[in-house]
Amino acid sequence: MHAPLLVLLPLALCASAARAQSTWHVDDDALGDPGPGNPFVSDPLEAGTLARPFDRIQEAIDAAGDGDEVRVAPGTYFDLATIDVSAGLGSARSLWIRSSGGAGVTVIDASALGTHVLQAISGEDAATVIEGFTLTGGQSVGVAPNDRGGGLYCDSSSPVVRACVFDGNVATVGGGLYANAGAPRLEDCLFLGNSAVNGGAQYLNATSATLEGCDFLANTASGEGGALHVRNSGTVTVRSSDFLDNQATGNGGALFKREGTLVLERVRLVSNATSASGGALYCESTNTLRDCLLDRNSALVSGGGIRAAAGTSLTVLGCTVVDQTAGSGIHVASTTLDVRNSILWGSLPQQIVTAGGTTTVRHCAVLGGFTGTGNLALDPLFLAPLGPDGLPGTLDDDFRLHEGSPCIDAGDTTRVASLAPTVQYPLDLGGLPRAVDRGETPDAGIAVLGLTVDMGAHEHPAHGFARRRTLP
């Protein structure tokens, strides 16, 4: 089991007044508790008040009413069974279950249970919020449904999970989280060292989930999807997130995607690996990447960066795909591939491999060149590809554009303008505005309102990364 590594974003304290009707307190180390840290021994006078808190989280959930807050003090909590956010009543209640100190000091440990840490199975909606915990020790390797979601098992529910760490959980499917149906939303969560057969960190089935600011580090799958496995889903959106050092034996070192639509916006996929195809992403159906970085991913069979199967639609817009160490940068088969405003450089043995289908590559910098309007074969002049640590394939690798790069003002701005304002766009990988025109640079691309975007994931001038944090 990994130790919690960080305290994430400050808790949104201002939400309390707006949401909570009553507040129920939990503290297993409070004065008056005759067995601190022991879930079998409770304060006989416990009442869920600040002075006489419950010592188990489930007790507070059972006592709470719709709209109430369950506030958990710092400590490590060993409940007697999987914590059910609606107390197993079969009907959802809206609860705000949150720690007062954050995930770095508030741990729910299910290592003695042999099942999920938490479950949401009663139709919870976005008014149910789980915030500020480290979930660890989940072991869901039994008979369904006890084979899924080691950290959180979510069925036909749509809670918000915020500022949580999923650390070292194990399952057959979805080591950290399994979601079936519903539309859960995860914000500012870290998935660290979770493992499964499929979906080392998460398995999303028949759901339209949103992941915002969620980072995935060193998760593993003995099957497909080292970090994330998506099946039978509507639209799954991953935004402003990092995937680092995830591994799979099957397809999709970081992400495996089958049915439905996958949208990646401002995502970094770095040093992920598979023994099969798609070091960063193996995909089918409909997929879009905007303002993403793929750096030093690898696959032993094909598609060190991306492998798109037959019948797939893949759009790559404003991305940087560099130095995939095996299996080529993008490898597609009988696929509709549309690559615009992107940089594809340094991957082995080729930047793009196609076998049938329709391929359009325009206004891109491609090592060795590629047929298409506005394409370049010139060195993009990255600012510091090895970053301050001098090591390739780490999150400090800096692929912003150096002054004088031929990729500045060389993109097709019409593709960017057509997206606004229907999505969170146009922003570059660092969350900074697109189409920051350089008056002294000749426009080689297509302008809109006198402004021209750059090729690649970063817009010049290189103002710096506007990212929230860096993974450990």
- Mean pLDDT by runs of 10 across the 472 residues of the chain is 38 40 91 83 91 94 93 94 80 89 97 94 93 97 94 96 98 98 96 98 96 97 98 94 98 97 97 98 96 97 96 97 92 95 95 93 97 97 94 93 93 86 76 76 83 93 52 39
> Has residue 426 been placed in a domain?
no
Identify the helix (H) or strand (E) that includes residue 316.
strand 313-317
Domain that residue 257 falls in: 73-78+91-384
In a domain, 424, yes or no: no
Residue 360, H or E segment: strand 352-362
- The pLDDT of residue 211 is 98
Query: Going along 94-175, which residue ranges are E strands?
Result: 96-99, 106-109, 118-120, 129-131, 134-136, 139-140, 152-155, 160-162, 165-167, 170-173
Domains contained in the chain, number: 1
Phi, psi angle pair for 16, to nearest 5°: -60, -50
26 lies in some domain: no
Residue 52 included in any domain: no
CATH number at 248 reads 2.160.20
Where residue 409 falls (left for φ over 0; alpha for ψ -120 to 50; beta otherwise) is left
Sign of dihedral through CA atoms 452, 455, 459, 461?
negative
Buried b / exposed e along 104-117 (16+ C-beta atoms within 10 A): bbbbbbbeebebbb
Supply angle C-alpha 325, 252, 193, rounded to 5.
Answer: 95
Q: How far apart are CA 389 and CA 387, in angstroms?
A: 6
Residue 206 Ramachandran class (φ > 0 left, ψ -120 to 50 alpha, else beta): left
By the 8 A CB rule, do 351 and 368 touch? yes
Sign of CA dihedral 22, 27, 31, 35: positive
Report if residue 436 sits inside a domain: no
In a domain, residue 136? The reply is yes
d(CA 26, CA 162): 19
Task: Report pLDDT for 93.
Answer: 79
Asked whether residue 97 is assigned to any structural domain, the reply reads yes
- Which one, of 232, 168, 226, 170, lies nearest residue 198 by Cα? 226
Cβ atoms of 163 and 9 within 8 Å: the answer is: yes
Number of alpha helices (DSSP H) and beta strands (DSSP E) in the chain: 3, 43
Residue 411 has which token pair? 């993109």
* pTM across the whole model: 0.92
Amino acid at 388: P
What is the predicted pLDDT for the residue at 15? 41
- Residue 13 has a pLDDT of 37
Handedness of CA 218, 222, 226, 231 (dihedral sign): negative
User: What's the pLDDT score for residue 441?
Assistant: 65
**Does 68 map to a domain?**
no
Please give the pLDDT value at position 463: 52
Q: Which alpha helices (H) appear in 365-465, and where do they start and end?
A: 413-417
